[in-house]
Amino acid sequence: MASAATPTSFSLLQSSTSSSSSRNRSSTQVAASRRLHAGGLRSAPLRSVGFSAADPLLALNVAAKVGSGKGRGPRGVVSMAKKSVGDLSAADLRGKKVFVRADLNVPLDDNQKITDDTRIRAAVPTIKHLIANGAKGRPKGVTPKFSLAPLVPRLSELLGVTVVKADDCIGPEVEKMVAALPEGGVILLENVRFYKEEEKNEPEFAKKLASLADLYVNDAFGTAHRAHASTEGVTKFLKPSVAGFLLQKELDYLVGAVSSPKRPFAAIVGGSKVSSKIGVIESLLEKVDILLLGGGMIFTFYKAQGLSVGSSLVEEDKLGLATSLLEKAKSKGVSLLLPTDVIIADKFAPDANSKVVPSSAIPDGWMGLDIGPDSVKTFNDALETCKTVIWNGPMGVFEFEKFAFGTESVAKKLAELSGKGVTTIIGGGDSVAAVEKVGVASVMSHISTGGGASLELLEGKELPGVLALDEVVPVAV
C-alpha cells in the first residue's frame, strides 16, 4: 500500500478499438495513483449528482429524490444513490492508486485515424480530476488490429500529459510500470478482453486487476450492464468503489430526469423492430405524457390496425403486441402518435425511387423507409409544449440521404427546444450518430454514451456495474 508520501498512480485498461469506421464498444480502465501534497486538494469536492456540465436544477432535483427516497420505483433510487469520485476527500485519495474503468468507443478509418473522439473526450473529466489531485495513468496495445496506439496522441493532448502504452493489463511487467510511473504520469493498459476471464468475471482475474490499485472508479457506462471482471468483479477487492463523473451524469439523466421529469414529458422511440424496443416502450408508457413512434417498427403497428404496408418490414409475430401497446397507451392516458405519412421506396437502396404517401396508402411492392413531412410537422407540434424529451432510435434509414429527412428533422427540433430550456436527452445508439451528423450534439442537455446500457436502464433494469458500487447511504430495495 502506498503511503501518504508516495506518488499515487493510475492505469487505463482498454477493451477494444475497431479498425473499421463503425462504432465499436471499447472499454478502458484507468488505475490512477498520485501524490497528494498537503493543501493540494480543494476542500469543496464535486458532488455525486454529476459535474459542472450537468444541469444544476436537475442535479438538485435528483439529489432531493435520492435523499427523500422518493421517485418512481426503488430501482431508480438505488441506481442514483451511488458514491461518485467527487465524494472522495483528499484523505481518501492521498497516496492511493486509483483504478478507473473508462469507456472508449472510438471509430477508426482504414488508416487507423480517429474519426470521432467523443468517447475519449467524455472520459477526460474524471481522469483530469484525479491527475489534478496527484495521479498517474497508463495505456497499452498487443494485437495490431485492436491496438490502442491510435488513441495515445489524442488522449495525451486532451489530458495535457504524455500517455505511455503498455503491452498487457496484468502481470509483473505491468506492476513494474505502475510502480515506476512519475507523478502525473498516465499508462494505458491493454484490452482486457484479450483474456477470456474478463467476460466470465473470474475472481482470480479480477483480483489481479485489482492488485494494481487501492480504490476503484467506474466511468464506463457503456459496459455497466455487463457483470465482467473489470466492471463488477474488481469491486469485491477494491474499496471504495465509486462512480466517475460520466457514469454519474448518465444516471442523473437516464434515471433522475426520466423518473422525475419536468412535464410535459415526451419520448421519441424509433428503430427497425418492435421486438428490440418492447421493454423501453413498456417502461416509458408508465412515465411519459406523449410517445412518438418512428422507424421500421411502425409498419408492424400499421398492419396490426389492418392497414396495407406493401413490402415494408413487419414482425408478424408481434402484431398482437403492437395492439396491446396501443391499448396500454390509451388506458394510461398517454398520447401515442404514429406517423400519418411515410416516404416509400421501390427497393432498399440509396438510389431507390421514392415518394410520399399517406400511411394508409402504401402500395404493393413499395416499402416505407422514413416518416413524411406531415408527420414531422405533427411531431414538432406535439413536442412544442414539452419540458423534457428523450429520444432513442432513428425515424428512418437515415444512412441513405433520401431517407434521412425524418431523423434529421427530429434532431433539429430537439436542438431548437434545447435552446428554449427544454431538457433533451439523446438515449444512445443511432440517435447519437444522427445529432452528430446534423451538427447539433453540443446543444443537447445530455447525450448518452451507452448503447445496450442506455436501453436496459430505460427499461428499468438494474445494471451490474452500477449495483456493485458503494452506496452514498443505505437504501432499501
Q: Which residues contact 227 (CB under 8 A, 6 or more apart)?
A: 201, 233, 464, 465, 468
d(CA 99, CA 241): 9
Name the CA dihedral angle for 360, 366, 367, 372, rounded to a multiple of 10 degrees. Answer: -50
What is the SS3 assignment for 10? strand
Reply yes or no on whether 429 is catalytic: yes
Reply yes or no on whether 465 is catalytic: no
Of 294, 393, 406, 429, the active-site residue reads 429
C-alpha separations of 308 from 8, 273, 324, 359 in Å:
66, 18, 19, 9
Hunting for cell 472522495 — which residue is that? 88
The strand ranges marked E within 21-156 are 28-33, 97-102, 138-139
Reply yes or no on whether 72 is catalytic: no
At residue 288, what is the residue type? V
Grid coordinates representing 68 are 427523500
DSSP H or E segment with residue 283: helix 278-284
Q: Which residues pair with 291 in a beta bridge?
A: 267, 336
Of 82, 101, 119, 226, the active-site residue reads 119
- Nearest-5° Cα angle at 188, 230 to 238: 35
Of 154, 273, 328, 461, the active-site residue reads 273
CA 315 to chain centre: 28
Of 47, 207, 452, 461, the active-site residue reads 452
At residue 42, what is the residue type? R
Core vs surface per residue 420-441: b (16+ CB within 10 A) or e: eebbbbbbbbbbbbbbbbbebb
Reply yes or no on whether 119 is catalytic: yes
DSSP 398-445: TTSGGG-HHHHHHHHHHHHHHHTT-EEEE-STHHHHHHHHHT-GGGSS
Contact predicate 44/129, CB 8 Å: no
Give the residue numbers marked as catalytic.
119, 273, 429, 452
